[in-house]
Amino acid sequence: MSEPEAQLPPKDQSHVAGDEDIKVAEQDGVNDDGKAKKKRNRTKKVKQSDPPRVGLTKIFTDGIFPVGEICEYKNDNSYRTTSAEKRALENAVNEDPEETYQNIRRGAEVHRQVRAHARKHIKPGMTTTEIVNNIEDGVRALVEEDTSGALQAGIGFPTGCNINACAAHYTPNAGDTTVLQLRDVLKIDIGVHVKGRIVDSAFTLNFEPTYDALLAAVKDATNTGVKEAGIDVRVADIGAAIQEVMESYEVVIGTTTYPVKSIENLTGHSINRYRIHGGKSVPIVKTNDPGIMEEGEYFAIETFGSTGRGRVVESGDVSHYAKVFDAIKNPPLRLATAKSLLKTIEKNFGTLPFCRRYLDRTGESKYLLALNHLVSQGVVQDYPPLWDIRGSMTAQYEHTILLRPTCKEVVSRGDDY
């Protein structure tokens, strides 16, 4: 399908370009007339390393990060592009250091650079632990993760590393030895946050052509959702458009043809500060959801396609958790270890999702009983892996969009997807 008119960030800014000037003084010397030469300063641009480990503020020293894909609003909202009142409102928002668009754009540029390296280097034979560690080390370095407990910048949620029929909410726990295989279909879901503004974007990799059509269906469906999204748009209309595109595709395996189905009980979602699921859902099938999108909101437009039944169930060991956003303060916890663990969670993650590996990094050990107690008391929510039927294949693509007063910005858009 045709894309909306858009402006992509210049290629020389998207991945390794930088602005930082390192002053390099030339050696002292003399001119032909015997007078001393003046020192001249040459400039040298800082470039990203391979693997990416250079913090973005060392590259973009002016604090201005690449703008995402800009899309004009359609139909009744087209006036917003030229409205002086809307432009003034946008300028006011962007002057607030806590809400500035530069926060989300910085996170998006981290995402683009880290995923570019991941897409190039993930290969069959790697363990899922190797895959997520490489990604997360990159995110921590590029976003210059704050380790003081102030939660200024860091990982937005555990890196999803979902294989085949597992569509979402799997990341390896300690000791997991799962190895990526040649015929696997791998979904990578990466989160980055700056001052609580979360970039949530995902892609799918396959290593031989059997499921190319599945990936094409889901990418097309996600782009359709991005295109249809906008201020005052009904989320039900977006879901219907996504489903129509998704289910126009088929996957042929041998002599059997499988229709691609939208996974009906997975959705996109609004994103609030420090809250990955902000309260609104964006369906990927036709529904009667009365919700609408509003000015200033952030959304993750994500779609999932499957060769199976198009519905997921919870199954397997839990790795993903998050403190409940509106949980009561000072809950009545019976276990002293649970009280201590809750303090660790609040200091290091707040209400951002975390996984067991992240607890391990804080120095916590033998915490499962305490963690399960927090879950049972409604203080922490667990998120088990989500599976379609065994033997099916699932794919995912996702972008974060910002409904600015004057335009729609696809902040996570890159040259890759």
Q: Are the C-beta atoms of 108 and 65 separated by less than 8 Å?
A: yes
| Contact assessment for residue 202 and residue 417, using Cβ atoms and an 8 Å cutoff | no
Q: Which of 280, 272, 309, 299 is nearest to 388 (CA)?
A: 309
DSSP per-residue codes, 63-99 = S-----EEEPPPGGGGGGGT-HHHHHHHHHHHT-TTT
Q: What single-letter DSSP state applies at residue 4?
A: P
Residue 288 phi, psi dihedral angles, 5° rounding: -105, 20
Alpha-carbon span 21 to 45, nearest angstrom: 6
Q: Report d(CA 385, CA 400) in Å as an integer.
A: 22
Domains of the chain as residue ranges with CATH: 69-316+385-410 (3.90.230.10), 320-383 (1.10.10.10)
Per-residue model confidence (pLDDT) at position 169? 99
Q: Which of 196, 123, 121 is nearest to 157 (CA)?
A: 196
Write out the chain's pLDDT in tens, 417 residues.
433 444 444 444 444 444 444 333 344 455 555 565 555 556 678 999 999 999 999 999 999 999 999 999 987 676 666 677 776 777 666 666 667 899 999 999 999 999 999 999 999 999 999 999 999 999 999 999 987 777 999 999 999 999 999 999 999 999 999 999 999 999 999 999 999 999 999 999 999 999 999 999 999 999 999 999 999 999 999 999 999 999 999 999 999 999 999 999 999 999 999 999 999 999 999 999 999 999 999 999 999 999 999 999 999 999 999 999 998 888 899 999 999 999 999 999 999 999 999 999 999 999 999 999 999 999 999 999 999 999 999 999 999 999 999 999 999 999 999
What does the angle CA 314 – CA 282 – CA 416 come to, to the nearest 5 degrees?
Answer: 90
Q: How many CB atoms lie under 10 A from the CB of residue 138?
A: 25
Residues acting as catalytic residues: 189, 200, 269, 277, 302, 398
Residue length, the chain?
417
User: What is the per-residue pLDDT for 372?
Assistant: 98
> What is the per-residue pLDDT for 1?
40
